[in-house]
Structure 1
Amino acid sequence: MSFFNKILASIGVGSAKVDAKLSDSIIKVGDKVKGIIEVKGGNIEQSINEIYLTINTNYEKEEDDKVVDKQAGIAKVKLNEPFVIMPGETKTIPFTFELPLDTPLTVGSSKVWLQTGVDIKGSIDPTDRDIIKIEPHPLMEKTISALSELGFSLRNVKNEAASYKVRKRLPFVQEFEFIPTAGQFKKSLDEVEIMFSLLDESNIEIFIEVDRKARGISGLFSEALDLDESLVRFTLHENEIGKIKGILLDILNKHS
Protein backbone atom coordinates (compact mmCIF):
# COMPACT_ATOMS: atom_id res chain seq x y z
CA MET A 1 0.00 0.00 0.00
CA SER A 2 1.76 3.17 -1.22
CA PHE A 3 1.96 6.38 0.75
CA PHE A 4 0.69 8.22 -2.36
CA ASN A 5 -2.48 6.08 -2.44
CA LYS A 6 -3.05 6.88 1.24
CA ILE A 7 -2.78 10.59 0.49
CA LEU A 8 -5.23 10.29 -2.42
CA ALA A 9 -7.72 8.29 -0.33
CA SER A 10 -7.54 10.90 2.45
CA ILE A 11 -8.98 13.46 0.02
CA GLY A 12 -11.50 11.03 -1.45
CA VAL A 13 -9.63 9.90 -4.59
CA GLY A 14 -9.56 6.11 -4.82
CA SER A 15 -11.46 5.83 -1.53
CA ALA A 16 -14.32 3.41 -0.82
CA LYS A 17 -17.68 4.17 -2.48
CA VAL A 18 -21.18 3.67 -1.11
CA ASP A 19 -24.45 3.08 -2.95
CA ALA A 20 -27.92 2.62 -1.44
CA LYS A 21 -30.35 0.46 -3.43
CA LEU A 22 -33.95 0.70 -2.31
CA SER A 23 -36.34 -2.22 -2.78
CA ASP A 24 -39.02 0.37 -3.61
CA SER A 25 -38.66 4.14 -3.94
CA ILE A 26 -42.43 4.66 -3.44
CA ILE A 27 -43.37 4.27 0.22
CA LYS A 28 -46.54 4.92 2.23
CA VAL A 29 -46.30 6.80 5.51
CA GLY A 30 -45.79 4.21 8.27
CA ASP A 31 -44.53 1.48 5.93
CA LYS A 32 -41.03 0.00 6.05
CA VAL A 33 -38.04 1.30 4.08
CA LYS A 34 -36.09 -1.68 2.72
CA GLY A 35 -32.95 -2.09 0.66
CA ILE A 36 -29.24 -2.76 0.68
CA ILE A 37 -26.09 -0.69 1.05
CA GLU A 38 -23.29 -1.67 -1.29
CA VAL A 39 -19.80 -0.64 -0.16
CA LYS A 40 -17.00 -0.96 -2.72
CA GLY A 41 -13.38 -0.83 -1.58
CA GLY A 42 -11.04 1.67 -3.18
CA ASN A 43 -7.30 1.48 -3.81
CA ILE A 44 -6.29 0.87 -0.20
CA GLU A 45 -7.50 -0.96 2.89
CA GLN A 46 -9.82 1.31 4.90
CA SER A 47 -11.58 1.19 8.28
CA ILE A 48 -15.32 1.86 8.07
CA ASN A 49 -16.39 3.26 11.43
CA GLU A 50 -20.08 3.74 10.70
CA ILE A 51 -22.66 3.60 7.93
CA TYR A 52 -25.83 5.55 8.61
CA LEU A 53 -29.02 6.46 6.78
CA THR A 54 -30.98 9.68 7.23
CA ILE A 55 -34.40 10.62 5.92
CA ASN A 56 -34.51 14.33 5.08
CA THR A 57 -36.98 16.84 3.75
CA ASN A 58 -37.21 20.54 2.89
CA TYR A 59 -39.39 23.29 4.34
CA GLU A 60 -39.88 27.04 4.08
CA LYS A 61 -39.17 29.57 6.79
CA GLU A 62 -39.54 33.34 6.83
CA GLU A 63 -36.40 35.17 7.91
CA ASP A 64 -35.87 38.95 7.66
CA ASP A 65 -38.98 39.30 5.49
CA LYS A 66 -37.71 36.66 3.06
CA VAL A 67 -38.74 33.05 2.55
CA VAL A 68 -35.73 30.74 2.76
CA ASP A 69 -35.39 27.01 2.18
CA LYS A 70 -34.43 24.87 5.15
CA GLN A 71 -33.64 21.18 5.59
CA ALA A 72 -34.89 18.90 8.36
CA GLY A 73 -33.82 15.41 9.37
CA ILE A 74 -36.76 13.08 9.98
CA ALA A 75 -34.92 9.91 10.99
CA LYS A 76 -31.37 8.57 11.37
CA VAL A 77 -30.48 4.87 11.41
CA LYS A 78 -27.07 3.35 12.17
CA LEU A 79 -26.46 0.16 10.19
CA ASN A 80 -23.22 -1.44 11.33
CA GLU A 81 -20.38 -1.99 13.73
CA PRO A 82 -16.88 -0.96 12.54
CA PHE A 83 -15.28 -3.15 9.87
CA VAL A 84 -12.43 -3.10 7.34
CA ILE A 85 -12.97 -2.96 3.58
CA MET A 86 -10.10 -4.31 1.46
CA PRO A 87 -8.99 -2.87 -1.92
CA GLY A 88 -11.52 -3.86 -4.61
CA GLU A 89 -13.73 -5.71 -2.09
CA THR A 90 -17.53 -5.34 -2.15
CA LYS A 91 -19.68 -5.68 0.97
CA THR A 92 -23.49 -5.71 1.00
CA ILE A 93 -25.45 -4.60 4.07
CA PRO A 94 -29.25 -5.07 4.11
CA PHE A 95 -31.46 -2.61 5.98
CA THR A 96 -35.10 -2.33 7.08
CA PHE A 97 -36.63 0.43 9.18
CA GLU A 98 -40.05 2.01 9.60
CA LEU A 99 -40.77 5.32 7.93
CA PRO A 100 -41.82 7.75 10.69
CA LEU A 101 -45.52 8.65 10.82
CA ASP A 102 -44.71 12.37 10.58
CA THR A 103 -42.85 12.05 7.26
CA PRO A 104 -44.38 14.60 4.84
CA LEU A 105 -45.92 13.55 1.53
CA THR A 106 -43.96 14.34 -1.63
CA VAL A 107 -46.51 16.63 -3.22
CA GLY A 108 -46.29 20.31 -4.12
CA SER A 109 -42.86 21.66 -3.25
CA SER A 110 -42.17 18.97 -0.64
CA LYS A 111 -39.28 16.59 -1.30
CA VAL A 112 -37.99 13.63 0.70
CA TRP A 113 -34.68 11.86 0.20
CA LEU A 114 -32.58 9.10 1.73
CA GLN A 115 -29.01 10.16 2.50
CA THR A 116 -26.39 7.45 3.00
CA GLY A 117 -23.27 8.45 4.87
CA VAL A 118 -20.09 6.53 5.68
CA ASP A 119 -17.62 7.48 8.37
CA ILE A 120 -14.19 6.33 7.10
CA LYS A 121 -11.17 6.81 9.32
CA GLY A 122 -8.68 9.25 7.83
CA SER A 123 -10.67 10.02 4.69
CA ILE A 124 -13.34 12.31 3.31
CA ASP A 125 -16.62 10.54 4.03
CA PRO A 126 -18.54 9.46 0.91
CA THR A 127 -22.31 10.01 0.64
CA ASP A 128 -25.15 8.86 -1.57
CA ARG A 129 -28.58 10.49 -2.05
CA ASP A 130 -31.77 8.82 -3.28
CA ILE A 131 -35.10 10.57 -3.85
CA ILE A 132 -38.12 8.84 -2.29
CA LYS A 133 -41.79 9.30 -3.19
CA ILE A 134 -43.96 9.35 -0.06
CA GLU A 135 -47.63 8.44 -0.42
CA PRO A 136 -50.37 9.08 2.17
CA HIS A 137 -51.38 6.77 5.00
CA PRO A 138 -54.90 5.32 4.35
CA LEU A 139 -56.46 7.64 6.98
CA MET A 140 -54.99 10.66 5.19
CA GLU A 141 -55.94 9.33 1.78
CA LYS A 142 -59.58 8.80 2.79
CA THR A 143 -59.83 12.33 4.20
CA ILE A 144 -58.44 13.89 1.02
CA SER A 145 -60.77 11.75 -1.08
CA ALA A 146 -63.79 12.84 1.02
CA LEU A 147 -62.93 16.51 0.45
CA SER A 148 -62.75 15.85 -3.28
CA GLU A 149 -66.22 14.28 -3.16
CA LEU A 150 -67.47 17.44 -1.43
CA GLY A 151 -66.28 19.55 -4.38
CA PHE A 152 -62.80 20.64 -3.24
CA SER A 153 -59.61 20.59 -5.32
CA LEU A 154 -56.10 20.52 -3.92
CA ARG A 155 -54.44 23.83 -4.81
CA ASN A 156 -51.18 23.77 -2.90
CA VAL A 157 -49.12 21.69 -0.47
CA LYS A 158 -46.06 22.94 1.37
CA ASN A 159 -43.89 22.29 4.39
CA GLU A 160 -43.81 25.45 6.47
CA ALA A 161 -41.93 26.36 9.64
CA ALA A 162 -44.30 26.26 12.61
CA SER A 163 -44.39 27.83 16.05
CA TYR A 164 -43.83 25.76 19.17
CA LYS A 165 -47.58 25.91 19.85
CA VAL A 166 -48.41 23.98 16.67
CA ARG A 167 -45.44 21.81 15.81
CA LYS A 168 -44.52 18.55 17.47
CA ARG A 169 -41.28 16.63 16.87
CA LEU A 170 -40.29 18.40 13.66
CA PRO A 171 -39.75 22.15 13.14
CA PHE A 172 -42.41 22.40 10.42
CA VAL A 173 -45.92 21.32 9.50
CA GLN A 174 -47.24 20.21 6.13
CA GLU A 175 -50.24 22.23 5.01
CA PHE A 176 -52.77 21.09 2.40
CA GLU A 177 -54.72 23.93 0.81
CA PHE A 178 -58.04 23.11 -0.87
CA ILE A 179 -60.39 25.39 -2.78
CA PRO A 180 -64.07 24.72 -3.54
CA THR A 181 -64.47 24.25 -7.30
CA ALA A 182 -67.90 22.58 -7.29
CA GLY A 183 -70.75 21.76 -4.93
CA GLN A 184 -72.50 23.66 -2.17
CA PHE A 185 -69.43 25.41 -0.73
CA LYS A 186 -68.24 27.03 -3.95
CA LYS A 187 -70.01 30.32 -3.14
CA SER A 188 -69.53 30.39 0.63
CA LEU A 189 -65.90 29.41 1.22
CA ASP A 190 -62.59 30.75 -0.04
CA GLU A 191 -60.42 27.82 1.00
CA VAL A 192 -59.91 25.03 3.48
CA GLU A 193 -56.48 24.19 4.93
CA ILE A 194 -55.76 20.84 6.53
CA MET A 195 -52.88 19.49 8.64
CA PHE A 196 -52.53 15.82 9.55
CA SER A 197 -50.87 14.36 12.64
CA LEU A 198 -50.80 10.57 12.75
CA LEU A 199 -50.85 9.49 16.38
CA ASP A 200 -50.31 5.82 15.53
CA GLU A 201 -51.32 3.38 12.78
CA SER A 202 -55.00 3.54 13.85
CA ASN A 203 -55.55 7.16 14.93
CA ILE A 204 -55.06 10.50 13.23
CA GLU A 205 -55.44 14.05 14.50
CA ILE A 206 -56.81 16.45 11.90
CA PHE A 207 -56.64 20.25 11.97
CA ILE A 208 -58.99 22.13 9.62
CA GLU A 209 -58.97 25.86 9.02
CA VAL A 210 -62.07 27.10 7.19
CA ASP A 211 -61.81 30.45 5.40
CA ARG A 212 -65.19 32.00 4.59
CA LYS A 213 -65.84 34.38 1.72
CA ALA A 214 -66.32 38.01 2.72
CA ARG A 215 -69.89 39.27 2.42
CA GLY A 216 -70.50 43.01 2.36
CA ILE A 217 -68.82 45.61 4.57
CA SER A 218 -69.05 43.50 7.76
CA GLY A 219 -67.66 40.50 5.89
CA LEU A 220 -64.71 42.50 4.58
CA PHE A 221 -64.06 43.79 8.11
CA SER A 222 -64.03 40.22 9.46
CA GLU A 223 -61.67 39.14 6.69
CA ALA A 224 -59.26 41.97 7.51
CA LEU A 225 -59.15 40.81 11.14
CA ASP A 226 -58.92 37.12 10.22
CA LEU A 227 -62.31 36.65 11.90
CA ASP A 228 -63.49 34.86 8.76
CA GLU A 229 -61.34 31.84 9.68
CA SER A 230 -62.37 28.97 11.95
CA LEU A 231 -59.96 26.36 13.28
CA VAL A 232 -61.33 22.90 14.10
CA ARG A 233 -59.36 20.01 15.59
CA PHE A 234 -60.53 16.42 15.99
CA THR A 235 -59.22 12.85 16.21
CA LEU A 236 -60.33 10.07 13.88
CA HIS A 237 -59.98 6.32 14.53
CA GLU A 238 -59.69 3.86 11.63
CA ASN A 239 -63.08 2.39 12.59
CA GLU A 240 -64.65 5.81 11.90
CA ILE A 241 -63.11 6.31 8.46
CA GLY A 242 -66.42 5.54 6.75
CA LYS A 243 -67.90 8.57 8.54
CA ILE A 244 -65.21 11.06 7.48
CA LYS A 245 -67.26 12.60 4.67
CA GLY A 246 -70.14 13.25 7.05
CA ILE A 247 -67.80 14.68 9.71
CA LEU A 248 -66.25 17.07 7.19
CA LEU A 249 -69.68 18.05 5.86
CA ASP A 250 -70.89 18.93 9.37
CA ILE A 251 -67.77 21.03 10.06
CA LEU A 252 -68.00 22.89 6.75
CA ASN A 253 -71.75 23.55 7.15
CA LYS A 254 -71.20 24.89 10.65
CA HIS A 255 -68.43 27.27 9.62
CA SER A 256 -69.54 28.36 6.13
Structure 2
Amino acid sequence: MLKKILSSIGIGSAKVDTQLSKTVYTAGETMEGVIVIEGGKTEQQIDEIYLSLMSTYIREVDDNKVNETALLEKYKLVDSLIVSPNEVKRIPFHIPLPFDVPITKGKTKVWIQTGLDIKMAIDPQDRDYIEVQPHPLVESFLQTVNSLGFSLREVKCEEASRALRRKYPFVQEFEFKPTSGLFKGRLDELEVIFFTSEHQVEVILEIDRKALGLRGFLAEALERDETLVRFTFNSHDIPALSQTLVNIINKYS
Protein backbone atom coordinates (compact mmCIF):
# COMPACT_ATOMS: atom_id res chain seq x y z
CA MET A 1 0.00 0.00 0.00
CA LEU A 2 2.78 2.47 0.93
CA LYS A 3 4.56 1.88 -2.39
CA LYS A 4 1.34 2.55 -4.30
CA ILE A 5 0.79 5.79 -2.40
CA LEU A 6 4.36 6.92 -3.06
CA SER A 7 3.96 6.06 -6.74
CA SER A 8 0.75 8.07 -6.95
CA ILE A 9 2.61 11.24 -5.95
CA GLY A 10 5.45 10.61 -8.38
CA ILE A 11 8.02 8.99 -6.06
CA GLY A 12 9.49 5.87 -7.59
CA SER A 13 7.30 6.24 -10.67
CA ALA A 14 8.03 5.53 -14.34
CA LYS A 15 10.66 7.47 -16.27
CA VAL A 16 10.49 8.41 -19.93
CA ASP A 17 13.24 9.11 -22.46
CA THR A 18 12.69 9.96 -26.13
CA GLN A 19 15.52 8.92 -28.43
CA LEU A 20 15.37 10.58 -31.85
CA SER A 21 17.13 9.01 -34.82
CA LYS A 22 18.67 12.46 -35.48
CA THR A 23 18.30 16.02 -34.27
CA VAL A 24 18.36 18.00 -37.55
CA TYR A 25 15.21 18.01 -39.71
CA THR A 26 13.73 19.85 -42.66
CA ALA A 27 10.25 21.33 -42.30
CA GLY A 28 7.74 18.69 -43.40
CA GLU A 29 10.12 15.78 -42.82
CA THR A 30 9.09 12.72 -40.81
CA MET A 31 10.73 12.31 -37.42
CA GLU A 32 11.63 8.83 -36.29
CA GLY A 33 12.60 7.61 -32.88
CA VAL A 34 11.87 5.44 -29.88
CA ILE A 35 10.24 6.28 -26.57
CA VAL A 36 11.88 4.33 -23.75
CA ILE A 37 9.78 3.89 -20.62
CA GLU A 38 11.46 2.55 -17.52
CA GLY A 39 9.14 1.23 -14.82
CA GLY A 40 9.42 2.43 -11.25
CA LYS A 41 9.07 0.54 -7.98
CA THR A 42 5.42 -0.32 -8.45
CA GLU A 43 3.19 -1.32 -11.33
CA GLN A 44 1.65 1.69 -13.07
CA GLN A 45 -1.05 2.16 -15.67
CA ILE A 46 -0.23 4.75 -18.31
CA ASP A 47 -3.40 6.15 -19.83
CA GLU A 48 -1.76 7.99 -22.70
CA ILE A 49 1.63 8.60 -24.29
CA TYR A 50 1.95 11.73 -26.36
CA LEU A 51 4.54 13.85 -28.10
CA SER A 52 4.07 17.62 -28.24
CA LEU A 53 5.87 19.82 -30.75
CA MET A 54 6.66 23.10 -29.00
CA SER A 55 8.18 26.47 -29.85
CA THR A 56 8.56 29.97 -28.43
CA TYR A 57 7.49 33.43 -29.54
CA ILE A 58 7.46 37.01 -28.27
CA ARG A 59 4.26 38.73 -27.18
CA GLU A 60 4.01 42.40 -26.27
CA VAL A 61 2.20 43.14 -23.01
CA ASP A 62 1.92 46.74 -21.78
CA ASP A 63 4.95 47.76 -23.88
CA ASN A 64 6.97 44.87 -22.46
CA LYS A 65 8.12 41.88 -24.48
CA VAL A 66 7.20 38.54 -22.93
CA ASN A 67 8.42 35.11 -24.02
CA GLU A 68 5.57 32.66 -24.59
CA THR A 69 5.48 28.93 -25.30
CA ALA A 70 3.30 27.60 -28.12
CA LEU A 71 1.98 24.10 -28.76
CA LEU A 72 2.36 23.49 -32.51
CA GLU A 73 1.18 19.88 -32.74
CA LYS A 74 0.25 17.09 -30.34
CA TYR A 75 0.69 13.48 -31.40
CA LYS A 76 -1.06 10.73 -29.45
CA LEU A 77 0.94 7.50 -29.65
CA VAL A 78 -0.57 5.04 -27.17
CA ASP A 79 -3.96 4.89 -25.45
CA SER A 80 -3.20 2.68 -22.45
CA LEU A 81 -0.58 0.25 -21.19
CA ILE A 82 0.72 -1.27 -17.97
CA VAL A 83 4.36 -0.87 -16.91
CA SER A 84 5.58 -3.42 -14.39
CA PRO A 85 8.20 -2.60 -11.76
CA ASN A 86 11.62 -2.07 -13.40
CA GLU A 87 10.22 -3.09 -16.80
CA VAL A 88 11.62 -1.33 -19.89
CA LYS A 89 9.27 -0.70 -22.80
CA ARG A 90 10.38 0.67 -26.16
CA ILE A 91 7.77 2.33 -28.38
CA PRO A 92 8.90 3.32 -31.90
CA PHE A 93 7.23 6.27 -33.63
CA HIS A 94 7.10 8.05 -36.98
CA ILE A 95 5.53 11.51 -36.91
CA PRO A 96 5.51 14.26 -39.57
CA LEU A 97 6.78 17.74 -38.87
CA PRO A 98 4.39 20.43 -40.14
CA PHE A 99 5.45 22.18 -43.33
CA ASP A 100 5.06 25.52 -41.56
CA VAL A 101 7.04 24.68 -38.42
CA PRO A 102 9.32 27.65 -37.57
CA ILE A 103 12.96 27.18 -38.44
CA THR A 104 15.51 27.39 -35.65
CA LYS A 105 17.35 30.56 -36.56
CA GLY A 106 17.91 33.49 -34.25
CA LYS A 107 16.42 32.86 -30.82
CA THR A 108 13.72 30.48 -32.08
CA LYS A 109 13.72 27.12 -30.33
CA VAL A 110 11.75 24.01 -31.28
CA TRP A 111 11.52 20.89 -29.18
CA ILE A 112 9.68 17.63 -28.72
CA GLN A 113 8.10 17.19 -25.29
CA THR A 114 7.19 13.63 -24.35
CA GLY A 115 4.53 13.04 -21.74
CA LEU A 116 3.05 10.07 -19.95
CA ASP A 117 -0.47 10.56 -18.62
CA ILE A 118 -0.67 8.68 -15.29
CA LYS A 119 -3.77 9.26 -13.19
CA MET A 120 -3.20 10.51 -9.66
CA ALA A 121 0.51 10.96 -10.37
CA ILE A 122 3.00 13.60 -11.39
CA ASP A 123 3.22 12.95 -15.13
CA PRO A 124 6.79 12.16 -16.27
CA GLN A 125 8.04 14.34 -19.14
CA ASP A 126 11.09 14.57 -21.36
CA ARG A 127 12.24 17.47 -23.59
CA ASP A 128 14.40 17.08 -26.72
CA TYR A 129 15.47 20.09 -28.78
CA ILE A 130 15.72 19.75 -32.55
CA GLU A 131 17.17 21.89 -35.32
CA VAL A 132 14.67 22.74 -38.05
CA GLN A 133 15.91 23.75 -41.49
CA PRO A 134 13.74 25.57 -44.07
CA HIS A 135 11.32 23.84 -46.40
CA PRO A 136 13.02 23.49 -49.84
CA LEU A 137 10.79 26.19 -51.34
CA VAL A 138 11.59 28.60 -48.51
CA GLU A 139 15.29 27.77 -48.86
CA SER A 140 15.09 28.66 -52.57
CA PHE A 141 13.52 32.00 -51.67
CA LEU A 142 16.21 32.75 -49.08
CA GLN A 143 18.96 31.98 -51.59
CA THR A 144 17.28 34.17 -54.21
CA VAL A 145 17.01 37.14 -51.84
CA ASN A 146 20.66 36.69 -50.91
CA SER A 147 21.65 36.70 -54.59
CA LEU A 148 19.91 40.08 -54.96
CA GLY A 149 22.24 41.63 -52.39
CA PHE A 150 20.16 41.25 -49.21
CA SER A 151 21.72 39.95 -45.99
CA LEU A 152 19.66 38.21 -43.35
CA ARG A 153 19.85 40.36 -40.23
CA GLU A 154 17.32 38.83 -37.85
CA VAL A 155 14.81 35.99 -37.55
CA LYS A 156 12.17 36.14 -34.83
CA CYS A 157 8.78 34.72 -33.90
CA GLU A 158 6.30 37.34 -32.77
CA GLU A 159 2.62 37.33 -31.90
CA ALA A 160 0.58 37.59 -35.09
CA SER A 161 -1.84 40.39 -35.75
CA ARG A 162 -5.43 39.33 -36.40
CA ALA A 163 -4.93 39.82 -40.15
CA LEU A 164 -1.90 37.51 -40.22
CA ARG A 165 -2.99 34.88 -37.70
CA ARG A 166 -3.36 31.43 -39.19
CA LYS A 167 -2.66 28.09 -37.54
CA TYR A 168 -0.34 29.42 -34.82
CA PRO A 169 -0.64 32.47 -32.54
CA PHE A 170 2.59 33.87 -34.02
CA VAL A 171 4.41 34.41 -37.30
CA GLN A 172 8.10 34.00 -38.00
CA GLU A 173 9.63 37.13 -39.52
CA PHE A 174 12.81 37.24 -41.61
CA GLU A 175 14.43 40.66 -41.72
CA PHE A 176 16.87 41.50 -44.53
CA LYS A 177 19.11 44.51 -45.11
CA PRO A 178 20.20 45.50 -48.63
CA THR A 179 24.01 45.43 -48.42
CA SER A 180 24.83 45.32 -52.14
CA GLY A 181 23.17 45.14 -55.51
CA LEU A 182 20.19 46.99 -57.00
CA PHE A 183 18.45 47.96 -53.79
CA LYS A 184 21.30 49.19 -51.62
CA GLY A 185 20.46 52.77 -50.70
CA ARG A 186 16.86 52.42 -51.93
CA LEU A 187 15.42 50.28 -49.14
CA ASP A 188 15.88 50.34 -45.39
CA GLU A 189 14.90 46.70 -45.02
CA LEU A 190 12.82 43.88 -46.38
CA GLU A 191 10.73 41.78 -43.98
CA VAL A 192 9.34 38.44 -45.08
CA ILE A 193 6.75 36.05 -43.63
CA PHE A 194 6.09 32.62 -45.10
CA PHE A 195 2.92 30.52 -44.98
CA THR A 196 4.15 27.17 -46.21
CA SER A 197 2.28 24.13 -47.44
CA GLU A 198 3.62 21.01 -49.11
CA HIS A 199 3.81 22.36 -52.67
CA GLN A 200 3.32 26.10 -52.32
CA VAL A 201 4.45 29.09 -50.27
CA GLU A 202 2.50 32.27 -49.66
CA VAL A 203 4.87 35.17 -49.11
CA ILE A 204 4.13 38.39 -47.25
CA LEU A 205 6.67 41.09 -48.08
CA GLU A 206 7.00 44.29 -46.11
CA ILE A 207 9.03 46.68 -48.25
CA ASP A 208 10.46 49.47 -46.11
CA ARG A 209 11.53 52.29 -48.41
CA LYS A 210 14.49 54.45 -47.52
CA ALA A 211 13.55 58.02 -46.63
CA LEU A 212 14.91 60.35 -49.32
CA GLY A 213 14.31 64.10 -49.10
CA LEU A 214 11.61 65.95 -47.19
CA ARG A 215 8.71 63.94 -48.61
CA GLY A 216 10.52 60.73 -47.72
CA PHE A 217 11.12 61.82 -44.15
CA LEU A 218 7.48 62.87 -43.77
CA ALA A 219 6.32 59.52 -45.12
CA GLU A 220 8.63 57.72 -42.72
CA ALA A 221 7.36 59.80 -39.79
CA LEU A 222 3.79 58.88 -40.74
CA GLU A 223 4.81 55.24 -41.22
CA ARG A 224 3.74 55.39 -44.85
CA ASP A 225 7.12 54.20 -46.09
CA GLU A 226 6.14 50.52 -45.67
CA THR A 227 4.20 48.47 -48.19
CA LEU A 228 2.78 44.98 -47.72
CA VAL A 229 2.76 42.73 -50.77
CA ARG A 230 1.42 39.16 -51.02
CA PHE A 231 2.21 36.56 -53.64
CA THR A 232 2.53 32.78 -53.91
CA PHE A 233 5.03 30.56 -55.68
CA ASN A 234 5.74 26.88 -56.19
CA SER A 235 8.59 24.81 -57.58
CA HIS A 236 7.71 25.74 -61.19
CA ASP A 237 8.14 29.45 -60.36
CA ILE A 238 11.67 29.18 -58.93
CA PRO A 239 13.56 29.86 -62.21
CA ALA A 240 11.76 33.22 -62.50
CA LEU A 241 11.70 34.00 -58.76
CA SER A 242 14.60 36.45 -58.90
CA GLN A 243 12.97 38.55 -61.62
CA THR A 244 9.61 38.34 -59.84
CA LEU A 245 11.13 39.80 -56.68
CA VAL A 246 12.96 42.51 -58.62
CA ASN A 247 9.71 43.54 -60.35
CA ILE A 248 7.75 43.62 -57.07
CA ILE A 249 10.38 45.61 -55.18
CA ASN A 250 10.89 48.03 -58.06
CA LYS A 251 7.15 48.66 -58.19
CA TYR A 252 6.88 49.56 -54.51
CA SER A 253 10.28 51.12 -53.71
TM over 0.5: yes
Structural mapping, 1:221-240, within 5 Å: 221-240=218-237
Structural mapping, 1:139-178, within 5 Å: 139-178=137-176
Letter in 2 for 1:15: S
Paired position in structure 1 for 2:125:
127
Deviation at 1:81, TM superposition (A): 2.2
Paired position in structure 1 for 2:38:
40
Structural mapping, 1:181-200, within 5 Å: 181-198=179-196, 200=197
Q: Normalised by the size of structure 2, how large is the TM-score?
A: 0.97
Structural mapping, 1:70-89, within 5 Å: 70-89=68-87
Deviation at 1:230, TM superposition (A): 1.3
Deviation at 1:98, TM superposition (A): 1.0
Paired position in structure 1 for 2:209:
212
Gaps of 5+ in 2: none
Query: Alignment RMSD, CA only?
Result: 1.0
Between the aligned residues of both structures, percent identity stands at 49
Gaps of 5+ in 1: none
Letter in 2 for 1:99: L
SS in 2 for 1:202: coil
Deviation at 1:212, TM superposition (A): 0.8
Distance in 2 (alpha carbons) for counterparts of 1:243 and 1:10: 62
Distance in 1 (alpha carbons) for counterparts of 2:206 and 2:165: 16
Q: Does the 8 Å CA contact 1:105/1:134 hold for their aligned counterparts?
A: yes
Paired position in structure 1 for 2:244:
247
Letter in 2 for 1:143: F
Deviation at 1:151, TM superposition (A): 0.6
Residue 202 of structure 2 corresponds to residue 202 of structure 1? no
SS in 2 for 1:79: strand
Aligned residues: 253
Letter in 2 for 1:46: Q
After TM superposition, the structure 1 stretch with the greater mean CA deviation from structure 2, 186-195 or 239-248, is: 239-248
Paired position in structure 1 for 2:108:
110
SS in 2 for 1:93: strand
Distance in 2 (alpha carbons) for counterparts of 1:17 and 1:243: 53
SS in 2 for 1:165: helix
